[in-house]
C-alpha cells in the first residue's frame, strides 16, 4: 500500500518536473516521457510511447543527423553497458516543429543530456532515464559561429564555457576510444594479464589467457587468497604483499606454480615467466598490481627432457668406455705380442659394436637371440653350426652381455675347440621355461673336434663368460670340458628387476 | 714406488662385470684385496652388514637401475670411507653427497688410487 503510494507520488513528481525526462527500455524503446520533455521536443505522448527512440526522434534529414544520432545512442549504450551514469555535455539534435500551416520543419537545437541506468534488485539494467536540457539559446546567444576562436569575453560568459565543455567532451571521447583499444589489446593479449586491486589483491579484470591459466574459475571481485586458495604456501601471496608494501616490482623466471585447473581436479604443475608491477594512484601510493606473464611449461619440460636424455646418453657412453677400457686392459694382460693383442681386442670390440647395431635397428628396444648367435657364428658356414630354438627377444643389457659371451665361446671354439678342425660342429639349442618367471636355457655343445681337457688356468675369455652370466645376468653357467668337446649350459632369467 | 694401500680390503659395488673386473685388477695391482663385487644394492648392503673387515669401498652410483646411496649411508654409519664412481661426474651427485671423493668413468689407476687415499685420509706416498 505504502509502496504503491510512493510509486504514484514519484510518477506524479516525474510528470510535473520542469526538467525534461524520458524513460527507455534497455533496447532504447520509449516507455514514457514527462510533460516538460513533450514540450521541449514538440511531441505528443501517444505518438512516441512504444516507439524506438531514434524512430521517434531521428534528428531530421540534415547532413549531421546520423552523427548526432550516433552520439546520443553511444552515450545511452555506454550507460546501459557500464551501468554507470553517462553525460553528454553538448550534442546537436534537430527537432521537428509543426508550423501553423501544418508543415513539418526541422529545427537545429543543442542539448545537454544525462543518461542514468535504473537497476533492478539483481543489478540488471531495467530502464534508462534520459534527462536533457535545451541549451541552444545559451550557446547561440554568445557564439554565433561555433567555429570562431574563443575570445576572452567568451571565456568569462557561458558560451565560452559551453564551448570548452564541448572541447573537453571531444577529448574524453578520443581518450575513451584509446582506452577501449587498450582494453581490447589487454583482453586479447597472448600472455596472461590481470589487475589486482588493493592490499588484498582483489581481481579487478583479467584476460582470456589468465582465465585459461587458472581454469575456468570466476575470480572477479575476489581477493587472491580466496580466489586461488591452492597458492597457499607457494610464496605468491607473499610476493604480492611485498610488491604492494614496497612498490618494487617482482619478476619470476620459469617459476613453478601448482594450480587447480579443473574443478575437483588435482594440482597441476605450471611453469611461468611473470612480472608483478605496482600500479600507483595519482598521489604515488601503490593502489594495485599489474600481473603479466607467459605459460612456459612446454619449454621447461622440453629442456628437462633434453637434460635427462643428455645425462642418460653421457652415462651410457661413459659406461661403455669403461667397458672397452676393461676389455683393453684385460686383453693386454693375456697378449704380450702387440699384433695378437690388436687382433683379439679388435674382434671383441667388433662383437660389442655389432650388438649395438642390432639394438639401434630396434631403437634400443631389444634384439633377437638367433640374430646375435648367427652373427657370431656365420663365419664358419651353416653346415657347421646348428641353431635350434624359439624366437627370443632380448632386452638391451642382456643382448649386449650374450653378444660378448657368444663371441668368446666362438673364438675359443675356433682356436682350441670344434671349429679348429674342418669336421667339428657346434650344436646350439635353447628353450624358454617357466612362464611366470621366464628363463632362457641354452646349450652350446661342440662335437667332432679335438679332445679337450679342463684348462690349467682360466683365460680372460672364460672369466668374462662366467662373471658376466653370474654377475650381470644373475644366471648360471656350467662349462663342461667333456672328452668329445666343450659343453656350456647356461640359464638366465629374462625378466630382471632392472632395465 | 711404495704402496700405501697394501693389504686394504676394498668393497666393489658395480653392476657391469667388465668394469668390476677392471677395478679388481687395479686394486690388486695396488696391493689391495677386492671384496665382492656386489652386482646390486641388496648384495652391497648385505656385505656392508656382514663383512667384518672393510677398509674402504668403491661405489658405482647407478647400480642396476637404482642409486647406491643406501649402501653409502650404511658405510658412513660404520665409519668406512668410500669413493663414488659414476658416468655422470660429481655434478650427477645429490647435494648431500657432493664433496665425497668421486671418480668418473672411464678411470685411470691413478685416479682410483688418489680417490681412495683421499677418502681414507692416507697421505700421498
Q: Quick one: what percent of chain A has pLDDT higher than 70? A: 92
What end-to-end distance do the CA atoms of chain B give, in Å?
8
User: Which residue is associated with the grid cell 607467459?
Assistant: A294
3-state secondary structure string, B22-72?
HHHHHHHHCCCEEEEEECCHHHHHHHHHHCCCCCEEEEECEECCEECHHHH
More confident residue, A193 or A158: A193
Contact A477, A466 (CB under 8 A): yes
In a domain, B92, yes or no: yes
CB contact under 8 A, A325 and B22: yes
Cα–Cα distances in angstroms (integers) from residue A250 to residues A303, A441, B45, in the given order? 24, 65, 49
In a domain, B43, yes or no: yes
- The pLDDT tens digits for A377-425 are 888 888 899 999 999 999 888 999 999 999 999 998 998 899 998 889 9
Q: Which three cell numbers stand for residue A182?
A: 587498450
Q: Please tell me the predicted confidence (pLDDT) of residue A307.
A: 85
Query: Domain with B114 in it: what CATH number?
Result: 3.40.50.2300
Tell me how close the Cα of A314 comes to any Cα of chain B, in angstroms: 7
Segments forming the whole domain that contains residue B21: 9-120
CB of A319 within 8 Å of any CB in chain B? yes
Residue B30 CB contacts under 8 Å (≥ 6 apart), including other chains: B3, B5, B6, B109, B112, B113
Q: Please tell me the predicted confidence (pLDDT) of residue A142.
A: 47
CB contact under 8 A, B106 and A497: no
In a domain, B105, yes or no: yes
How much is the mean pLDDT over chain A? 85
Beta bridge partners of A256: A271
Q: How far apart are CA A49 and CA A33, in angstroms?
A: 8
Of the candidates A211, A153, A214, A215, the one whose C-alpha atom is nearest the C-alpha of residue A187 is: A211
Residue A241 CB contacts under 8 Å (≥ 6 apart), including other chains: A199
Per-residue pLDDT band for A138 (boundaries 50, 70, 90) equals low
Predicted complex: ipTM over 0.90: no
Residue A66 CB contacts under 8 Å (≥ 6 apart), including other chains: A59
Does an H or E element contain A324, and which? helix A297-334
Segment among A181-195, A212-226, A237-251 with least mean pLDDT: A181-195
- The pLDDT tens digits for B88-117 are 765 678 888 888 899 988 888 899 999 999
Q: Please tell me the predicted confidence (pLDDT) of residue A1.
A: 45
Chain A residue with CA closest to B13: the answer is A471
What is the total residue count of chain B? Answer: 125
What end-to-end distance do the CA atoms of chain A give, in Å?
86
CATH class for the domain made up of A189-295? alpha beta
For the stretch A328-331, contacts whose Cβ atoms lie closer than 8 Å and that sit 24 or more positions apart, written own/partner, are: A329/B22, A329/B25, A330/A460, A330/A464, A330/B18, A330/B21, A330/B22, A330/B25, A331/A460
Chain B residue with CA closest to A404: the answer is B18
Q: Please tell me the predicted confidence (pLDDT) of residue A155.
A: 42
In a domain, B1, yes or no: no
Per-residue pLDDT band for A184 (boundaries 50, 70, 90) equals confident
DSSP A17: -
Using the CB atoms, write b or e for B67-82: b if 16+ within 10 Å.
bbbebbebbeeeebbb
Q: How far apart are CA B86 and CA B82, in angstroms?
A: 13
Contacts of B86 in chain A (CB under 8 A): 315, 318
Contacts of A326 in chain B (CB under 8 A): 18-19, 21-22
Q: Which three cell numbers stand for residue B124?
A: 700421498
Contact A48, A56 (CB under 8 A): yes
Q: How far apart are CA B34 and CA B54, in angstroms?
A: 10
Tell me how close the Cα of A349 comes to any Cα of chain B, in angstroms: 13
CB contact under 8 A, B18 and A468: yes
Residue in B22, B64, B104 closest to A329 by CB: B22
Q: Please tell me the predicted confidence (pLDDT) of residue A92.
A: 83
Number of domains in chain B: 1
- The pLDDT tens digits for A38-90 are 988 888 889 899 999 999 888 888 888 888 899 899 999 999 998 888 888 78
Residue A488 has pLDDT above 80, yes or no: yes
Per-residue pLDDT band for A13 (boundaries 50, 70, 90) equals confident
Tell me how close the Cα of B83 comes to any Cα of chain A, in angstroms: 16
In a domain, B3, yes or no: no
Q: Please tell me the predicted confidence (pLDDT) of residue A154.
A: 42
Q: Which CATH number fits domain A2-134: 3.30.450.20, 3.60.20.40, 3.90.226.10, 2.60.40.1180?
A: 3.30.450.20
User: What is the three-class DSSP state of B89?
Assistant: coil
Residue in B17, B66, B106 closest to A468 by CB: B17
Domains A2-134 and A189-295 in one fold: yes
Q: Which three cell numbers stand for residue A412?
A: 675359443
Q: Please tell me the predicted confidence (pLDDT) of residue A413.
A: 92
Q: So what's the architecture of A337-493 in CATH?
A: 2-Layer Sandwich (3.30)
In a domain, B99, yes or no: yes
CB contact under 8 A, A326 and B21: yes
User: What is the three-class DSSP state of A251?
Assistant: strand
In a domain, B125, yes or no: no
In a domain, B4, yes or no: no
Per-residue pLDDT band for A132 (boundaries 50, 70, 90) equals confident
Task: Locate the domains of chain A by residue range.
Answer: 2-134, 189-295, 337-493
Amino acid at each position: 500500500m505504502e509502496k504503491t503510494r510512493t510509486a504514484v507520488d514519484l510518477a506524479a513528481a516525474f510528470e510535473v518536473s520542469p526538467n525534461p525526462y524520458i524513460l527507455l527500455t534497455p533496447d532504447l524503446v520509449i516507455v514514457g516521457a514527462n510533460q516538460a520533455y513533450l514540450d521541449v521536443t514538440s511531441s505528443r505522448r501517444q505518438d512516441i510511447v512504444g516507439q524506438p527512440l531514434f524512430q521517434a526522434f531521428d534528428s531530421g534529414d540534415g547532413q549531421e543527423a546520423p552523427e548526432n544520432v550516433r552520439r546520443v545512442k553511444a552515450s545511452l549504450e555506454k550507460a546501459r553497458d557500464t551501468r554507470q551514469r553517462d553525460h553528454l555535455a553538448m550534442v546537436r539534435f534537430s527537432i521537428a516543429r509543426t508550423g501553423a500551416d501544418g508543415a513539418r520543419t526541422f529545427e537545429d537545437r543543442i542539448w545537454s543530456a544525462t543518461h542514468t541506468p535504473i537497476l533492478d534488485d539483481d543489478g540488471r539494467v531495467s530502464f534508462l532515464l534520459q534527462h536533457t536540457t535545451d541549451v541552444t539559446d545559451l550557446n547561440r546567444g554568445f557564439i554565433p559561429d561555433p567555429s570562431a576562436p574563443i575570445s576572452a569575453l567568451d571565456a568569462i560568459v557561458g558560451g565560452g564555457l559551453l564551448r570548452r565543455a564541448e572541447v573537453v567532451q571531444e577529448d574524453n571521447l578520443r581518450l575513451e576510444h584509446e582506452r577501449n583499444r587498450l582494453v581490447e589489446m589487454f583482453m586479447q593479449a597472448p600472455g596472461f594479464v590481470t589487475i589486482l586491486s588493493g592490499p588484498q589483491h582483489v581481481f579487478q579484470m583479467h584476460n582470456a589467457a589468465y582465465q585459461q591459466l587458472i581454469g575456468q574459475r570466476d575470480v572477479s571481485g575476489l581477493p587472491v587468497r580466496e580466489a586461488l586458495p591452492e597458492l597457499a604456501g607457494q610464496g605468491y601471496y607473499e610476493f604480492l604483499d611485498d610488491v604492494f608494501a614496497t612498490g618494487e616490482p617482482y619478476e619470476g623466471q620459469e617459476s613453478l606454480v601448482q594450480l587447480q585447473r579443473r574443478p575437483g581436479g588435482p594440482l597441476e604443475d605450471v611453469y611461468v615467466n611473470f612480472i608483478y608491477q605496482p600500479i600507483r594512484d595519482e598521489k604515488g601510493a601503490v593502489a594495485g598490481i599489474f600481473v603479466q606473464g607467459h605459460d612456459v611449461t612446454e619449454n621447461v619440460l622440453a629442456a628437462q627432457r633434453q637434460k635427462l636424455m643428455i645425462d642418460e646418453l653421457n652415462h651410457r657412453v661413459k659406461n661403455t668406455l669403461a667397458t672397452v677400457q676393461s676389455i683393453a686392459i684385460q686383453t693386454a694382460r693375456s697378449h704380450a705380442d702387440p699384433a695378437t693383442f690388436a687382433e683379439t681386442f679388435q674382434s671383441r670390440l667388433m662383437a660389442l659394436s655389432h650388438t649395438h647395431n642390432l639394438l639401434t635397428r630396434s631403437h634400443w628396444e631389444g634384439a633377437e637371440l638367433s640374430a646375435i648367435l648367427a652373427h657370431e657364428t656365420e663365419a664358419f658356414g651353416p653346415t657347421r653350426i646348428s641353431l635350434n630354438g624359439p624366437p627370443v627377444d632380448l632386452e638391451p643389457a642382456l643382448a649386449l652381455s650374450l653378444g660378448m659371451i657368444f663371441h668368446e665361446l666362438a673364438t675359443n671354439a675356433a682356436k682350441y675347440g670344434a671349429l679348429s678342425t674342418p669336421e667339428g660342429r657346434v650344436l646350439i639349442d635353447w628353450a624358454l621355461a617357466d612362464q611366470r618367471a621366464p628363463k632362457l636355457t641354452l646349450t652350446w655343445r661342440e662335437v667332432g673336434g679335438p679332445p679337450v681337457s679342463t684348462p690349467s688356468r682360466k683365460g680372460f675369455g672364460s672369466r668374462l663368460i662366467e662373471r658376466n652370466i653370474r654377475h650381470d645376468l644373475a644366471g648360471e653357467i656350467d662349462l663342461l670340458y667333456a672328452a668329445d668337446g666343450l659343453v656350456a649350459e647356461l640359464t638366465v632369467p629374462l625378466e630382471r628387476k632392472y632395465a | 714406488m711404495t704402496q700405501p694401500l697394501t693389504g686394504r680390503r676394498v668393497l666393489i659395488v658395480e653392476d657391469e662385470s667388465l668394469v668390476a673386473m677392471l677395478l679388481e685388477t687395479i686394486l690388486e695391482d695396488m696391493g689391495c684385496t677386492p671384496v665382492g663385487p656386489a652386482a646390486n644394492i641388496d648384495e652391497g648392503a648385505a656385505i656392508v652388514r656382514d663383512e667384518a673387515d672393510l677398509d674402504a669401498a668403491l661405489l658405482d652410483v647407478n647400480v642396476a637401475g637404482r642409486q647406491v646411496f643406501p649402501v653409502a649411508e650404511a658405510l658412513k654409519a660404520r665409519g668406512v670411507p668410500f669413493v663414488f664412481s659414476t658416468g655422470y661426474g660429481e655434478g650427477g651427485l645429490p647435494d648431500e653427497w657432493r664433496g665425497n671423493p668421486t671418480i668418473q668413468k672411464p678411470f685411470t689407476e691413478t685416479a682410483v688410487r688418489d680417490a681412495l687415499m683421499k677418502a681414507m685420509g692416507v697421505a700421498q706416498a
